[in-house]
Chains A and B, each alone.
Chain A
Amino acid sequence: MANSGVGGGLTRRQLFERRARRRALIIASTSSLAVVLAIVLLVPLAPGWEAVKNSFFNGEVFLRTFPTLLRAFLLDMLIFAWCAPLIAIWALVIAICRDVQSPALYPLRIFATIYTDVFRGVPVILVVYLIGFGVPGLGLPRPWNSPYIWGSLALILTYSAYVAEIYRSGIESIHASQRAAAHSLGLSGADVMRFVILPQAVRRVVPANMNMLIALQKDVALLSFIGPVEIFRQAGVYKSLLANFTPYVVAAVIFLAITVPATRFADALLARQNRARS
């Protein structure tokens, strides 16, 4: 071997790959370091930096508002926690309605089609406003005028439209031979859906639905516009009180602490699924 002593039994190819890996690592770290240095050194040179630093990255304000904002974030988590399962169920109902074959149930199909068209076509914030202000405007008695109920409903209705489409893509991705095999055993159409198609379809779209969960996690903040003092609204209160934008940065950091691990998890799921299928 040409490189005897260095490789300790490695082949020519393995040695080459090791050199290539090392070279790639060095280049990647050098260029990353250069970019970070440039940002750290150049941004403070901007004329307004002191002012920006003071109003967005004020350490004192950060520490003072963090505990309360974290507590306000619990409300976001709570709203998320009851919305997510309801979306999963309602979206499945819509997805199944769009797939019904029986002519007697055709109205369900029309309803589901219009439903997904409408709720995917309207901005979430508009739905939150219309339902969150509109329904309590009917003069309902407590607790039925609560913005929590109607705000959550707005999120559930909107997100279900997207998730229903994800379910449907999962249903359609199940090969026709599975349906044929199930029918050939004499199973009814409903049983084929329930025991053969849906369990496979739902599993297959878990990574896609994880992305919807992450989006929902963030959109819970939209409810602040109709009343609940969750993290975004609490940050707004602090902003007015302290004349400082740092509370918004705190809120962003808290959101990221949840959504970044969740995103990584979703990516890992997707990667695992792709590996399993190849």
Chain B
Amino acid sequence: MARLELRNVAKGFGGVPVCRDISLTVESGDMVCLIGASGSGKSTLLRCMNLLEPIDDGAIYLDGQDISEPELDPQPIRRRIGIVFQSFNLFPHMSAAENVMLAPRRVHHRDRASLLPEIQALFDRFGLADRMQHYPDQLSGGQQQRVAIIRALAMQPEIMLFDEITSALDPQLVGEVLDVLRQLKSQGMTMVLATHEMGFAREAADKVCFLHQGVIVEEGPPEQIFDAPEAPETRAFLQAVVK
């Protein structure tokens, strides 16, 4: 059974379709990369998977359970699926450690003392041990994004979604964030990325999906998509990007 499965998902805003008839399966431990031009529906699709946006039609299954059922309470589902955003979205009035601890404390009713060793280990692992007490505006973009990833990981999600998490970073900071993704992959985390980092997608993805105008035009292993794309839209896009 697939970890996460989308069946004929459709989503629009104010009558304008953004995603149309999207079907996608994500197996446990896989890294799936969504590529495509801005506005092709990658971000919207990720937000739908996390139930931040309700879908208009189709269904989304998490371990076989239909999580797109409108009557369902989204909160317990969101705890199982972490998401990291392009613009970090750290809470500016809290230190990095407080940002990370808020949800475990409130949702899992953990106390600070028992959380601290775990949190510390996460900060250590991602090279931020000395930044725990810093506030977001005292951190670089790359550091903020790594804190945002730690914040999502602290809820011990089964799946992680990444929405163009390196797009707002200076080029020299992109590497440190991609390293975090490689680490997560080596530990078997199931991940879905919307990304413009074609080199990274080719190297690390198990499956690449090319979206064009809200539709998955082509999907397959990275070698196939990048080296032998079949659809003319994919070829045109890659030609423009890789140049």
> A residues near B, CB below 8 A?
177-178, 180-188, 191, 195-196, 199-200, 203
Most chain A beta-carbon neighbours within 10 Å: one of B50, B76, B79, B106: B106
Assess the A186–B103 pair: CB atoms within 8 A: yes
Measured in the bound complex, the distance between the Cα atoms of B216 and A178 in whole Å is: 29
Q: Quick one: given A181-B85, A184-B52, A184-B83, are A196 and B91 in contact (CB under 8 Å)?
A: yes
Question: Provided the pairs A178-B91, A191-B106, A196-B91 are in contact, do residues A185 and B85 lie with their beta carbons within 8 angstroms?
Answer: no
List of A residues within 8 angstroms of B107 by Cβ: 185-188, 191
Across the A-B interface, the 3 shortest Cβ-Cβ residue pairs: A186-B79, A181-B89, A185-B103
The distance from the CB of B210 to the nearest CB of chain A, in whole angstroms, is 26
Contact B76 A186 (CB under 8 A): yes
Q: Which of B75, B85, B93, B152 contacts A177 (CB 8 A)?
A: B85
Contact code string B89-105 (vs A, CB < 8 Å = 1, else 0)? 11111000000001100
Query: Is B11 among interface residues, defined by CB-CB distance under 8 A?
Result: no
Q: CB distance A180 to B85 under 8 Å?
A: yes
Q: Which B residues lie within 8 Å of A182 (CB)?
A: 91
Residues of A within 8 A of B47 (CB): 180
Closest to A181 in B: B89
Contact across chains for B93 and A200 when beta carbons are under 8 A apart: yes
In the complex, the chain A residue whose C-beta lies closest to that of B98 is A195
Chain B 43-82 interface 0/1 with A at a Cβ cutoff of 8 Å (1 = within)? 0000100101000000000000000000000111011001
Contacts of B103 in A (CB 8 A): 185-187
A272 to chain B: closest CB distance in Å?
A: 14
What residues of chain B lie closer than 8 Å to A199, measured between beta carbons?
A: 93
A184 touches B78 (CB 8 A): yes
How far is A191 from B109 in the complex, measured between Cα atoms in Å? 12
Q: Nearest chain A CB to B99's CB is how many angstroms away?
A: 9
Q: How far is the CA of A200 from the CA of B92 in the complex (A)?
A: 8
B87 in the interface, Cβ–Cβ < 8 Å? yes
Which residue of the partner chain, among A183, A184, A187, A188, contacts B102 with CB atoms under 8 Å? A187
Cβ-defined partner of A203 (8 Å) among B79, B93, B148, B155: B93
Q: In the assembly, what is the distance between CA of A196 and CA of B75, in Å? A: 16
Chain B residues near A180: list those with CB within 8 A. 47, 52, 85, 89
- Determine the distance from Cα of A199 to Cα of B135 in the docked complex, in whole angstroms: 15
Whether the Cβ atoms of A188 and B75 lie closer than 8 Å is yes
Complex alpha-carbon distance, A187 and B79, angstroms? 8
Is A187 within 8 A of B91, CB to CB?
A: no
Q: Which residues does chain B contribute within 8 Å of A187, judged by CB atoms?
A: 75, 102-103, 106-107
B212 within 8 A of A: no
B151 at interface by CB-CB < 8 Å: yes
Verify A184–B50 contact, CB threshold 8 A: yes
18 further A-B pairs in the complex, CB-CB below 8 A; given A180-B47, A185-B151, A195-B106: A177-B87, A180-B52, A180-B89, A183-B78, A184-B152, A185-B78, A185-B79, A185-B152, A185-B155, A186-B75, A186-B79, A187-B106, A188-B106, A191-B107, A199-B93, A200-B91, A200-B92, A200-B93
In the bound complex, residues from chain B placing their C-beta under 8 Å from that of A185 are 78-79, 82, 102-103, 107, 151-152, 155
Query: Whole-angstrom distance between the alpha carbons of A184 and B75 in the complex?
Result: 8
Q: How far apart are the CA atoms of A186 and B93 in the complex, in Å?
A: 19
Kindly identify which residue among B82, B90, B92 contacts A184, using a CB–CB cutoff of 8 Å: B82
Whole-angstrom distance from the CB of B15 to the nearest CB of chain A?
A: 21
Contact A186 B92 (CB under 8 A): no
Shortest CB distance B89–A (Å): 4
19 interchain pairs (CB within 8 A)?
A177-B87, A180-B85, A182-B91, A184-B82, A184-B152, A185-B79, A185-B82, A185-B102, A185-B151, A185-B152, A185-B155, A186-B103, A187-B103, A188-B75, A191-B106, A191-B107, A195-B102, A195-B106, A196-B91
Q: Contacts of B102 on A, CB cut-off 8 Å?
A: 185, 187, 195-196
Cα(A183)–Cα(B91), bound, Å: 12
| Residues of chain B with a CB closer than 8 A to A178's CB | 89, 91
Q: How far is the CB of B147 from chain A (nearest CB, A)?
A: 12
Question: How far apart sit A136 and B97, CA to CA, in the bound complex (Å)?
Answer: 54
Q: How far is the CB of B135 from chain A (nearest CB, A)?
A: 12
Q: Which of B136-186 contact A (CB under 8 A)?
A: 148, 151-152, 155
| Chain B residue at minimum C-beta to C-beta distance from A188 | B75
Which residues on the B side are within 8 Å of A196 (C-beta)?
A: 91, 102
State which of B78, B85, B89, B90 has its C-beta within 8 Å of the C-beta of A186. Answer: B78
Q: What is the minimal beta-carbon distance from A223 to any residue of chain B, in angstroms? A: 37
Q: Which residue of A lies closest to B53 (CB)?
A: A180
Bound-state CA distance A220–B90 (Å) is: 42
Which of A186, A188, A195, A200 has most B Cβ within 10 Å?
A: A186
